């Protein structure tokens, strides 16, 4: 990639980093993407599944492929001190979606300027990846019918892997995930007279501990799953036993059957533990994210494409229990998802950390990887 393009992508990435937008609110980000596509002379459609944008380059032939990047940021207060740090209070590109968006624009430039391919490439700029259903919203708005693609590919930057190294699994890459919302109803009263109450705080404590048995005593130790309760809200008065406690968290699994087992056991444990404590519990699951499970042929195609342009390729790292809604696309059409090393996680600044920063040096790597993979898919 010419140095000028790399400099351009860095400028675009830092602009996006300076102006992050939360899921479902990516109007400015989408407008920026549309502006750059118009400048590049690449036709596009906007407003797909919310703030989604799809650009298309057609060069005859009957083959087609999709390349996808996510655009949304997180509700995190940035602490990097960078000159281009977030100007939107409480919002930060702490997962690198700014880099994903910029590198997909870079892939569009490379493919636009490369005459050595035929077919159709769709560049999918997706909103609302961070647990708000952006992939499903775009598909519900006809993404795969309006922009037919035989295969789809994407990537995520990965701190802790050597910068520019491409990691692609066969099979599970990232976990299926779902959020848990538990409401425990008891009977309020004075803290000095607990015998006159049904204490939902005590009940919550028992549920919190009991939920740790779901994975430990129900899931095969050779199959991965995790249950985490991350918030607990009760009364604000130190001398009142409240009538309601809410708990929220998440659970994840790599295998759909294990995911279903964990969900069933969570319901049973919560409901029966509450009853044993004289309380009632309501439990809801929300914002399901499909497991990202690579198709074997497409994973091998992507590895070959990466190697063909001189990128180091690894297959030895285990999957992660983090989730990525790219998995919804892979349920509908073949494809593969990669990690591209972001370099060392300085000061422990992994993804979703207030000190995290996307490594601009991998923008050309990612753009070239996406372009090479698209060409391989069209020629295969």
Check which CATH number belongs to the domain holding 242 and give it: 3.30.70.360
> Residue 247's pLDDT band (boundaries 50, 70, 90)?
very high
How many of the other CB atoms lie within 10 Å of CB of 236?
7
What average pLDDT does the segment 193-214 reach?
97
Predicted confidence (pLDDT) per residue in 51-95, tens digit: 999 999 999 989 999 999 999 999 999 999 999 999 999 999 999
* pLDDT tier for residue 252 given thresholds of 50, 70 and 90: very high
Tell me: do 319 and 266 sit in the same domain: no
Range of the domain at 222: 176-288
- Check whether 375 has a pLDDT greater than 60: yes
CATH number at residue 52: 3.40.630.10
Percent above pLDDT 90 for the chain = 95
Query: How many domains would you assign to the chain?
Result: 2
pLDDT tens digits, one per residue of 151-177: 999 999 999 999 999 999 999 999 999
Residues 230 and 297 in one domain: no
Q: What is the dihedral of CA 372, 377, 379, 380, to 10 degrees?
A: 130
Asked whether the beta carbons of 274 and 207 are under 8 A apart, the reply is yes
Distance CA 33, CA 279 (A): 51
Question: pLDDT at position 295, please?
Answer: 98
Do 117 and 265 sit in the same domain of this protein?
A: no
* Whole-number pLDDT of residue 317: 92
Compute the average pLDDT of residues 309-313.
98
266 with 322, same domain: the answer is: no
Please list the residues that pair with 171 across neighbouring strands.
Answer: 294
pLDDT given at position 2: 65
Which stretch of DSSP H or E encloses residue 327?
Answer: helix 327-332
Spatial contact of 105 and 188, defined as CB atoms under 8 Å apart: no
In the structure, what pLDDT confidence band is assigned to residue 1 with cuts at 50, 70 and 90?
low
Tell which residue, 257, 315, 250, has the closest CA to residue 284: 250
The position carrying tokens 């977030």 is 86
45: β partners? 54
Residues 230 and 301 in one domain: no
Residue 171 has a pLDDT of: 92
Q: What is the pLDDT at residue 191? A: 96
pLDDT at residue 347, rounded to an integer: 82
């Amino acid at each position: 990639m010419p140095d000028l393009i790399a400099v351009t992508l860095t400028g675009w990435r830092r602009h996006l980093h300076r102006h992050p937008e939360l899921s479902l609110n990516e109007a400015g980000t989408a407008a920026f993407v549309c502006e750059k596509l118009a400048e590049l002379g690449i036709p596009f459609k906007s407003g797909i599944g919310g703030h989604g944008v799809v650009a298309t380059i057609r060069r005859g032939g009957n083959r087609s492929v999709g390349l996808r990047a996510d655009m949304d940021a997180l509700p995190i207060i940035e602490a990097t001190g960078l000159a281009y740090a977030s100007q939107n209070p409480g919002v930060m590109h702490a997962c690198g979606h700014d880099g994903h968006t910029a590198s997909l624009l870079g892939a569009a430039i490379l493919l636009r300027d490369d005459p050595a391919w035929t077919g159709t490439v769709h560049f999918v700029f997706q909103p609302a990846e961070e647990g708000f259903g952006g992939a499903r919203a775009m598909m519900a708005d006809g993404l795969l019918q309006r922009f037919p693609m035989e295969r789809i590919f994407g990537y995520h930057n990965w701190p802790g892997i050597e910068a520019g190294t491409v990691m692609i699994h066969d099979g599970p890459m990232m976990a299926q995930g779902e959020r848990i919302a538990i409401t425990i109803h008891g009977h309020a009263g004075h803290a000095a007279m607990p015998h006159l109450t049904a204490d939902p705080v005590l009940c919550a404590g028992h549920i919190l501990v009991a939920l740790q048995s779901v994975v430990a005593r129900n899931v095969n130790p050779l199959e991965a799953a995790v249950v985490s309760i991350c918030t607990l809200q009760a009364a604000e008065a130190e001398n009142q036993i409240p009538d309601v406690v809410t708990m929220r968290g998440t659970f994840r699994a790599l295998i759909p059957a294990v995911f279903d087992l964990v969900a069933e056991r969570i319901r049973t444990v919560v409901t029966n533990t509450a009853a044993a404590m004289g309380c009632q519990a309501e439990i809801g699951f929300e914002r399901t994210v499909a497991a990202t499970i690579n198709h074997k042929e497409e994973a091998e195609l992507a590895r070959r494409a990466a190697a063909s342009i001189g990128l180091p390729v690894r297959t030895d790292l285990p999957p992660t229990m983090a989730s990525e809604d790219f998995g919804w696309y892979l349920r509908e059409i073949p494809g593969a998802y990669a990690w591209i090393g972001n370099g060392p996680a300085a000061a422990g600044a992994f993804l979703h950390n207030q000190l995290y920063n996307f490594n601009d040096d991998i923008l050309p790597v990612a753009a070239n990887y996406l372009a090479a993979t698209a060409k391989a898919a069209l020629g295969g």
